[in-house]
């Protein structure tokens, strides 16, 4: 029985909540990161830049959940930051491969985070599935290379699952907090045209999909982690205003203003795609929050 899970990148939104949920379910959880962490969760250290990993982290581990990677929206994109976004993912995946190849362990499964950025900004009215072709923009190429780095682990006889995460909604950070902030101040407004599709997912559903991948041995390959009902940027902004009982500032924020403020990264919020959740639902997974209004009420009224 799988009962021991090592998480990389556990300090982020998904990793923190996933640690809580796995622990509640009786799993033994440990963390692997750049710094040793204090607390009740066993912590181990790696240095991705130098290709170093404490092999003790792999001992008595059944499953690795790989979430590590520099935040895409941590700061304005420049050549250095874009390089870090890419290499923090590809080099960490390669380091895991080398560590699993060269050390004794009984890891049977590696579940890696990925992203719906894989598909690029395809304005298709038909939802994009895991079989759809990748995009050709910067983030799409990052995700393609990211997935290749963990796919190599399959050659070691280890089951590999890749979870292509959508726009995660959480009351503790990420996209929802940023969108809700101006709404709370009475100056909320859709971005750009407001018509761009946002394939969102509640934080808890995101984590439960990872747990499903831990427990469902038949799961392999890529799965989209998005709710069944995507919404436009305008719809999401309006729903936030409704939940918070705040009016919206009617004029949209022009696209050129966002490009001036955040540069190339503006493409992340000015474009979108409709992503299918059919494959993960076919496994029997049931969303706690399939509808946007219920998800926002849960997160914003706590």
Q: Which residue has the tokens 């761009």?
A: 196
Q: Is the pLDDT of residue 279 over 80?
A: yes
240: its two tokens: 């936030």
| Cβ contact 164:237 at 8 Å | no
Q: Per-residue confidence at 120, pLDDT binned at 50, 70, 90?
A: very high
Q: Is the pLDDT of residue 250 over 60?
A: yes
Mean pLDDT value of segment 117-134: 90
| Cβ contact 143:176 at 8 Å | no
* pLDDT attached to residue 260: 67
* pLDDT attached to residue 263: 82
> What is the DSSP code (8-state) at residue 156?
G
Q: Is the pLDDT of residue 249 over 90?
A: no
> Which are the contacts of 66, defined by CB distance < 8 A and separation ≥ 6?
8, 9, 92, 93, 96, 110, 111, 112, 113, 150
* Cα–Cα nearest to 222, from 170, 272, 283, 175: 283
| Cβ contact 89:141 at 8 Å | no
Distance CA 89, CA 170 (A): 23
Q: Is 207 helix (H, G, I), strand (E, B) or coil?
A: helix
Q: What's the Cα-to-Cα distance from 132 to each of 165, 168, 189, 276, rounded to whole Å? A: 15, 21, 32, 10
Mean pLDDT value of segment 48-69: 96
* pLDDT attached to residue 83: 95
Task: Please report which helix (H) or strand (E) contains residue 149, including its range.
Answer: helix 138-151
* pLDDT attached to residue 8: 97
Q: Is the pLDDT of residue 28 over 60?
A: yes
Q: Per-residue confidence at 266, pLDDT binned at 50, 70, 90?
A: confident
Q: Is the pLDDT of residue 261 over 90?
A: no
| Cβ contact 93:112 at 8 Å | yes
Least confident of 113-127, 164-178, 242-256, 259-273: 259-273
Render pLDDT for 136-145 as a digit per residue (tens, 0 to 9): 999 999 999 9
Least confident of 53-67, 192-206, 248-262: 248-262
Mean pLDDT value of segment 261-290: 90
Domains, the chain: 4-234+260-300 (3.40.50.720)
Q: Which residue has the tokens 């935040």?
A: 71
Length in residues, the chain: 302
Share of the chain above pLDDT 70, in %: 98
Q: How far is CA 189 from the centre of its chain?
A: 25
Q: How many secondary structure helices (H) and strands (E) does the chain include?
A: 10, 12
Average pLDDT for the chain: 93
Mean pLDDT value of segment 69-78: 88
* pLDDT attached to residue 1: 57
Q: Per-residue confidence at 36, pLDDT binned at 50, 70, 90?
A: confident
| Cβ contact 65:124 at 8 Å | no
Mean pLDDT value of segment 149-169: 97
* pLDDT attached to residue 302: 64
The DSSP secondary structure of 268-295, one letter per residue, reads HHH----B--HHHHTTT---S--SHHHH
Least confident of 43-57, 242-256, 267-281: 242-256
139: its two tokens: 């983030």
Q: Which residue has the tokens 């902030």?
A: 181
């Amino acid at each position: 029985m799988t009962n021991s899970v090592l998480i990389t990148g556990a300090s982020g939104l998904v990793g923190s909540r996933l640690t809580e949920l796995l622990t509640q379910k009786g799993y033994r959880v440990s963390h692997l990161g750049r710094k040793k962490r204090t607390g009740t969760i066993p912590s181990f250290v790696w240095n991705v830049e130098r290709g170093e990993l404490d092999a003790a982290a792999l001992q008595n581990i059944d499953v690795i959940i790989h979430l590590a990677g520099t935040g895409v929206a941590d700061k304005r994109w420049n050549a250095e930051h874009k390089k870090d976004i890419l290499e923090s993912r590809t080099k960490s995946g390669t380091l895991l491969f080398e560590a699993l190849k060269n050390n004794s362990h009984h890891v049977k499964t590696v579940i890696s985070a990925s992203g719906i950025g894989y598909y690029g900004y395809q304005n298709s009215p038909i939802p994009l599935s895991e079989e759809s072709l990748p995009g050709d923009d910067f983030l799409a190429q990052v995700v393609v290379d990211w997935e290749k780095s963990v796919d190599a682990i399959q050659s070691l006889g280890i089951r590999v699952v890749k979870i292509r995460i959508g726009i995660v909604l959480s009351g503790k950070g990420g996209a929802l907090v940023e969108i809700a902030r101006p709404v709370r101040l009475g100056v909320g407004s859709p971005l750009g045209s407001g018509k761009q599709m946002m394939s969102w997912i509640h934080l808890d559903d995101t984590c439960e999909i990872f747990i499903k991948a831990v427990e469902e041995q038949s799961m392999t390959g890529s799965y989209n982690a998005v709710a069944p009902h995507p919404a436009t940027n305008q719809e999401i902004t309006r729903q936030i205003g409704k939940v918070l009982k705040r009016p919206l500032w009617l004029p949209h924020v022009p696209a050129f203003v966002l490009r001036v403020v955040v540069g190339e990264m503006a493409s992340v919020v000015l474009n979108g795609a409709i992503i299918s959740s059919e494959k993960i639902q076919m496994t029997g997974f049931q969303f706690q929050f399939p509808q946007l209004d219920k998800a926002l009420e849960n997160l914003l009224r706590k």
